[in-house]
Amino acid sequence: MNKAEAKTEIERLRRELNRHNRLYYVLDKPEISDAEYDRLYRKLVGLETQYPDLVASDSPTQRVGDKVSGEFKKVRHSRPRMSLDDAFSLQEVEDFEQRAKKLYNSTHRSASSWLAQDRINTSYDSGDALLPRMTGHHQGKSEEGLWDYVCELKIDGLQIVLTYRDGLLATAATRGDGVTGEDVTHTIKTVRDIPLKLSKLLDMVVSGEIYISKRDFAKINSEQQKTSGQLYANPRNLAAGTVRQLDPKVASGRRLKSFVYDLEGGVSPKTQVEILKELTDLGFSVNPKNQLCRDLSEAEKFIRKWAEGRDELPYEIDGVVVKVNDLATRRMLGVTAKAPRWAIAYKFPAEQKPTKILDIVVQVGRQGTLTPVAVLEPVKLAGSTVSRATLHNEDEIKRKDVRIGDTVIVRKAGDVIPEVVSVIKSKRPNSAKPFRMPDKCPICGDKVVRVEGEVAHKCANKNCFVVQLRKLEHFVSRDAFDIDGLGTKILEQLYKEGLVRDPADLFTLEEGDIEPLERFAEKSASNLIQSIQSSKTISFNRFIYALGILHVGAQTARDLTNTFSDLDEIIHIFPSSFQEVDGIGEKVANSIFEFFQDEHNLALVEKLLAVGVVIKRATALTSHKLAGKTFVVTGTLDSMSREEAEAKIRMLGGKASSSVSIKTDFVVVGINPGSKSDQAKKLGVKILDEKSFIKLL
């Protein structure tokens, strides 16, 4: 076979194998046996080995690449990947619709002419394989006053963002913090139902969920058991861990799967139905259980159906996502700082089971808080074995009257954290013992105090070993300094040996300090020191989060650093200034203020800077036109919500403010802008319409 003939045969084999991949992994309708597929695959490998210049990026042979070295690259998303608001009852789903309709009606009165242009009246053939219930009525609004909803099963997996350039998969990233994710293209390429090449040459971004089926999860755990390996807790954790493997060969062997549900760019759908159909046509795996519902009552029937039938599915789900179908309506509703107003995630009630409390022990956290924990007779719950459950605090124990020896009902709160729900008092033995909170810390022996007005008991010793260890764990965690290789056992050794007393000490470690420790050799010590030193440069928001300020999580740290220019400004302002940040109330503001009033905390900050930690402010993604510029967005924008516009401003180095002042540089005006536009004119602030604003971006 000459090269020209080989090229023709390679292209034929590539098309054939990609077609069979789709039939098997997406449509679940295989036409050939595994042996026949392997024969075609081996033939393609042989020809590509003979003619390596004929290998294409979308070839089935390119799904498993080389191992990634070191760490994952960071990827900034094209737009913020928001979470969804949760509903835990059907009443909360109904409340969601009432809020959305109230907002829609108030906005609609001032923008009815704009909305009319976007309304649609489209039908699909009754034979559509994607959503069999999508017939018989249009997809924008089903009747006057009623909204169509698309209900999608909420897959218990890992969110993934796929970027295509000219129809080819360019990058695959995790959701991360919603703004920045990790580049996991090397493992996502091994997911057979994700196309490496689209059926159209489009630039687009696709969102979906990566998961492992129940069957494959059981098979993997069975293999682990045979080799005395550690069993995986649940399919979601295994899927997330597999995606973050450095070696794609590991991911390839675990049969990851996907369902996608959103796209941006490339096409112009008018409804969620059109989005799902377009994704199917492009070759993606779209959940066939998705359903168009003509009103909320149909959506509630769908929720009830799968709340009862979830165990019949071949994959884990933890709820149902209810989305307004019409995209023009979605634009009118917009988003909040955290979530879209046009969708809600109904979370199934957590699975509950009875078990017995064998003992109650106390754990100490990084703020010194003592948390009582029930030691249980092991029970299988939501896909994993539970042997411990939180009792929260002493007040909760008294309220529920929990005693050692009781038979209790346990559940996984949010299907994640096990907790004791109630006591089955009819089964209480005479030997059941009440629990008392200790008056001395179980770790250091110092006194335990209860802060006035709070439910928490705390160790009074700021230097308590476990408190310091938990602070170190927090400091090196993924959302903070993200120091690879520094687990709890190593940190414990470093602390006990006197090598590390606070986080800044980590950056003064040398190989000679590490090598004598248990399980360390010259190479591993060198790798750890390199990992520590390479983490010295850190973004402002991650630095703030790493400090472990009470009540300041990763999102609050981002909000703070998007508002205040540098660390010095945060250290020296009054609590009331913190409350100007969306989402920060009096309690959190006081906590931040008090943290920086403590001389020990200030000394730690100074020490971190002295050992070479560099705090890096986020830079603009394109030019620096928006850097240092203050914007106010008012009114309804056509192409994006106000919150999305503000997020873009921040991502490009600007500041988004809620009020117009002499310090404002631009006011972006949409439909029905209100008084802010008039105020801008009085102050001489430049006004931008939406088109001019988009040009700046």
Beta strands in 348-463 (DSSP E): 352-364, 369-381, 384-390, 403-404, 407-413, 417-423, 433-434, 448-450, 457-459
Q: Give pLDDT, residue 569.
A: 86
Residue 23 has pLDDT above 50, yes or no: yes
Q: Which residue, among 560, 557, 587, 559, has the nearest Cα to 573 in the 3D structure? A: 560
Cβ of 636: how many Cβ atoms within 10 Å? 19
Residues serving a catalytic function are 154
Whether 298 is covered by a domain: the verdict is no
Confidence (pLDDT) at 661: 82
The answer on pLDDT for 27 being more than 70 is no
Assess whether 551 and 581 both reside in one domain. Answer: yes
400 is in an annotated binding site: no
- Please indicate, yes or no, whether residues 7 and 47 belong to a single structural domain of this protein: yes
Task: For residue 675, give the CATH number of its domain.
Answer: 3.40.50.10190
pLDDT at residue 142, as a whole number: 45
CATH number (domain holding residue 470):
1.10.150.20
Tell me whether residue 679 is in a domain.
yes
Read off the pLDDT of residues 514-568 as tens digits, 9 standing for 90 and up: 888 877 766 688 889 999 999 999 999 999 999 999 999 887 898 888 788 789 8
Percent of the chain topping pLDDT 70: 89
> pLDDT band for position 25 (50/70/90)?
low
Would 308 be classed as within a structural domain? no
Same domain, 442 and 384: yes
Q: Is position 83 annotated in a ligand binding site?
A: yes
Same domain? 435 vs 471: no
Q: In what order do the strands lie in the sheet with 343-347?
A: 86-87, 343-347, 317-324, 149-155, 291-293
pLDDT tens figures, 630-649: 889 988 777 777 777 877 78
371 and 452 inside one domain: yes
Q: Which residue has the higher pLDDT, 153 or 86?
A: 153
Question: Both tokens of residue 154?
Answer: 């909420």
Residue 50 counted as domain residue: yes
202 annotated to bind ligand = no
Both 545 and 605 in a single domain?
A: yes
d(CA 683, CA 589): 31
User: What pLDDT was estimated at residue 143?
Assistant: 46
Give me the CATH number covering residue 44: 1.10.287.610
Reduce the DSSP state of residue 327 to 3 states and report it.
helix
Query: Total domain count for the chain?
Result: 5
- Which pLDDT score, from 0 to 100, does residue 155 have? 95
**CA 220 and chain centroid, separation:** 25
**Does the annotation flag 568 for ligand binding?**
no
Domain boundary among 46, 62, 78: 62
175 labelled as ligand-binding?
Answer: yes
Average pLDDT over residues 508-512: 91
Q: Domain check: are 543 and 524 in the same one?
A: no
Q: Domain of residue 636: give its range.
A: 630-696
Check the annotation: does 38 bind a ligand.
yes
Would you say residue 362 lies in a domain?
yes
Using pLDDT thresholds of 50, 70 and 90, give the confidence band for residue 615.
Answer: very high
The response to whether 142 counts as a known ligand-binding position is: no
* Residue 666 lies inside a defined structural domain of this protein: yes
86 is in an annotated binding site: no
Separate counts of helices (H) and strands (E) for the chain: 24, 26
Q: What is the pLDDT of residue 66?
A: 53
Long-range CB contacts (within 8 A, 24+) of 562-567: 562/650, 562/655, 562/656, 563/655, 565/617, 566/540, 566/615, 566/617, 567/540, 567/543, 567/605, 567/615
pLDDT band at 36 (very low <50, low <70, confident <90, very high): confident
Compute CA distances 98 → 83, 94, 103, 334, 494, whole Å: 20, 6, 9, 15, 56
Instruction: Examine the domain organization and report whether 363 and 448 are in the same domain.
Output: yes
Among 62, 91, 106, the domain boundary falls at 62
Among 310-314, 471-475, 653-657, 664-668, name the one with the lowest average pLDDT.
Answer: 653-657
Task: Count other C-beta atoms under 10 Å from residue 244's C-beta.
Answer: 15
Q: What is the pLDDT of residues 193-231, one digit of tens each?
A: 999 999 889 999 999 999 999 999 988 888 877 765 567
Half-sphere exposure (Cβ direction) of 113: Cα atoms closer than 13 Å: 3
**Residue position matching structure tokens 């159209």:** 200
The reply to whether 162 falls in a domain is no
Instruction: Kindly state whether residue 358 falls inside one of the protein's structural domains.
Output: yes
Q: Of 431, 457, 483, which residue is a domain's last? A: 457
pLDDT of residue 90: 94
Both tokens of 264, joined, read 């941006």
Q: What is the mean pLDDT of residues 670-688?
A: 85
pLDDT digits (tens, 9 = 90+) for 564-609: 878 988 998 888 888 878 678 898 999 999 999 999 999 999 999 9
Query: How much is the pLDDT for 562?
Result: 79
Is the domain of 528 the same as that of 554? no
Q: Can you give the pTM of this predicted structure?
A: 0.53
pLDDT grade for 382, boundaries at 50, 70 and 90: low
Q: Are residues 442 and 370 in the same domain?
A: yes
Does residue 74 have a known ligand-binding role?
A: no
What average pLDDT is seen over the chain?
85
Specify the CATH number for the domain of residue 423: 2.40.50.140
8-state DSSP, 58: T
Q: Is 534 annotated as a binding residue?
A: no
pLDDT at 624: 58
